[in-house]
Amino acid sequence: MKKPSFKNVAVIGTGVIGRCWIQVFARAGCRVRVFDANPESLAAGMTWFKNDLKDLRQRGQIKKKEAKARWERVTAAESLADALEGAQYVQESLPESQEIKNRAFHEIDALLDPKAIVGSSTSAMDMTLLAHGVPGARRFITAHPVNPPHLIPVVEVLKGAETDPKVEAKTIKFLKEIGQSPVVMHRFVTGFILNRMQAALVREAVDLVASGVADVEAVDTSIRDGLGLRWAFMGPFGVANTNADQGARQYFTRYGKAYEEMWDALNTKTRFNPELIEQIGQATDRMTGASYEKQRQWRDRMISAIRAVKAADPLLRDPPKRRRKPPKAASRKKK
């Protein structure tokens, strides 16, 4: 991991998402000051971090020395001002309320070094509105992680209307340095990228069950023993690129019409109702006898193991001379 360009970081808000950011930053070697206006939540966040370090040690993923070093990089701050003191990057993970976040942004902006950047963990709100009226709106940017952010690297990055493009560039650079995988949005849409794609898949999954085509277990199996085996290391475009001898162009030229016909056949009127949710609940009960807690521990182990598999065998690049189509600067331009 590269040495991060921001050494001093503040984590504001220590709920389910905020607390995981402590681990992300501490792991990357940053000094982290943590604050939550609710002292119980702050204490719970620090306890979660302590326990996560313990788990990592017990599973042999880090040594005692490393756990100690990470723990010593992190401080529970006594106030917002204390947390922001010297911070070069702030990760805000407060409740999803425009009012709460906007008020906090005013406070943070007033206390924070003028050169520092603030990333928001908001999963759905528009930075243009969140930073509205904040004098330093130019240094506020959406940096939405996936739960849990210390295990799943994607972070959705999106400027508000007033965000400085340099702030975007620095945020992307920093996120990469600390081992996250930033994806850039060019404009706001409901649900951002990730939740939209999840919603599209969930709609079809729910519809297949609701319309009696397949049981919950069959739908899940078709992902986890089928499509999902590729999606763990290739997105839909990467899959297309390997599904025809001559890559994605050939694939979509050949199957574009079949896709469009299928799109027209998908039901977009699907809705939840209590009976449907109960049907899903009974099926997920049957799918595993393990407790929810054990399922989550298994999930976290599996994600770590799959990331290790990916890291151990990255797709080797051919030497540049063998590239069929060298990257063209012009083609990178947005339309």
Name residues contacting a copy of itself, limited to 263-292 (CB under 8 A): 263, 265-266, 268, 270-272, 277-278, 280-292
Tell me, residue by residue from 24 to 43, as one string, x for binding to a copy of itself by CB under 8 A and - for no binding: --------------------
Which residue in 151, 153, 87 sits closest to 118, CA to CA? 87
Binding of a copy of itself by 161 (CB under 8 A): no
State in angstroms the smallest separation of the CB of 91 from a copy of itself: 18
* DSSP structure string for 55-82: HHHHTTSS-HHHHHHHHHHEEE-SSHHH
Structure tokens, 215 = 């049981």
Phi and psi at residue 321, to the nearest 5°? -60, -25
In the chain, DSSP assigns E strands to 8-12, 31-35, 74-76, 89-92, 117-120, 140-145, 154-159, 181-184
138 touches a copy of itself (CB under 8 A):
no
Instruction: List the interface residues with a copy of itself, window 185-204 (CB under 8 A).
Output: 185-187, 189-191, 193-204
Q: Tokens for 303?
A: 């994600």
Q: How far is the CB of 165 from a copy of itself (least distance, A)?
A: 16
Among 59, 68, 103, 249, binds a copy of itself (CB under 8 A): 249
Site residues (CB under 8 A) for a copy of itself, limited to 290-329: 290-292, 294-296, 298-299, 301-303, 305-307, 309-310, 313, 315-320, 322-325, 327-328
Residue type, 64: K
**Closest to 42 in 3D by CA, of 83, 98, 87, 72:** 83
Site for a copy of itself in 116-135 (CB under 8 A): 124
124 versus 169: smaller Cβ distance to a copy of itself: 124
- Does residue number 231 form part of the binding site for a copy of itself (CB under 8 A)? yes
